[in-house]
Amino acid sequence: MHAPGLCLRDGRYRLLAEIGRGGSGVVWRALDIEARTERALKALPLAAGGAEGAALEVEARVRVQHPGALAIHGHFEEAGAAWLVLDLAVLSLQALVESGDLDSAGQPVAEPLPLPVALHVAGALCDVLASAHRAGVVHRDVKPANILLMSGGEVRLTDFGIARMWADSRTQTSSGAILGSLPWMAPEQRRDPRAVRPATDIYALAVTLAWMLLGYSPAELYVPAAVEELRGAGIPEPVVQLLVRAGSWAPDERMDATRFGEALTALADELALPDGSDADAWAAPGPRSALVARLEARQRRASGDPERSDSSDAGWRDVVVTLLDAWSSWEAIRGEATDLALPPVAPAALTRPPPQERGAISSRELLVAGGLLGAGGLLGAGAIVASAAAVWIALSSS
């Protein structure tokens, strides 16, 4: 129904590419013309209750006053969907761990995270969940695809679309339908979706931590086979025991998010190698720095150029901002001209004016910049940069 190039909110947002699709809707990468940045736009079909879903997700996010919950910058209805305007992440945790390739059995090829990095990510999520649970919000869908990573290594929890305000009668499961993702779903959530509680999120986070260390979802954490699976992968025994406790069958036997986070911090201190051979990886900025390095490597590999630098992206953003500035100036000049009552101009005055100094933007440059901006959807970034450079040289020599 929607396609790249679609403009929304009177042209403020322009869809660039689809970046995710789930049961509740589709997520697009979009250009925010007014803010001069890229955003993620989540489309929830109105025909499938998108308006109610968007309202509940916004309310849940408002209740969760924590920077680790992905920011929502606005919402609106247009083109048959309710839209949420979100921060744009670099990758999801799932995309970071899974290469996108499949093995001989058709399963995703994964690269497990180093233990200190996995503990760091899980600890950051504990902080977000502790804030959500204090606000009476149960996420109900904690999983790698809903954990986003920003360029600086910040961890963000997103998609509160099926969150339950467990002190409130309103919910996305009024019909009793089971919502969530089965591999990460706690036993009580599978039995009755209205029986979820904060401990439900703890179970899902424990499975997510095991997934980060194994590269795949283990058997239910409360069965002996899971314990042997974790041990067989070389995961330290204290981590195995913490996972088993957080993944207990009985919700009352699981710790809350605050204690889970404290336990993860204590484990990170306890498991730091005594010989100091890997001290930097365990130091306070170490896990986050390692996460950023993994993100950058994953991006380079996805681009097909292992040596590619992000500086080209920065240059492209500078070109976009420059063109937008030029276009805004042209619009302002055109608007002012239409408001002026100009006197008749003698034919002699219609001669070509002398060239302006290079410090100012001429109307000719503005027209060219506007043309380049309009061609942006058809040409690649490299073509636009090359065209802009050629035009600048031509104008400089005139």
3-state helix/strand/coil string of 265-292: HHHHHHHCCCCCCCHHHHCCCHHHHHHH
Query: Looking up tokens 């509940």, which residue turns up?
Result: 56
- Coil vs helix vs strand at 111: coil
The secondary structure of residue 163, as a DSSP letter, is -
Of 197, 201, 194, the closest CA to residue 179 belongs to: 194
Please provide the distance, in angstroms rounded to a whole number, between the alpha carbons at the two ends of the chain: 47
Radius of gyration of the chain (CA): 26
Give the up-direction half-sphere exposure of residue 373: CA atoms within 13 A in the CB hemisphere: 22
As to burial, measured by CB atoms within 10 angstroms (0-12 exposed, 13-18 middle, 19+ buried), residue 99 is middle
Residue 159 near residue 146 (C-beta atoms within 8 A): yes
Task: Identify the sign of the CA torsion 211, 216, 217, 223.
Answer: negative
- What is the amino acid identity at position 312? S
Q: Which residues are catalytic?
A: 141
* φ, ψ dihedrals at 77, nearest 5°: -120, 130
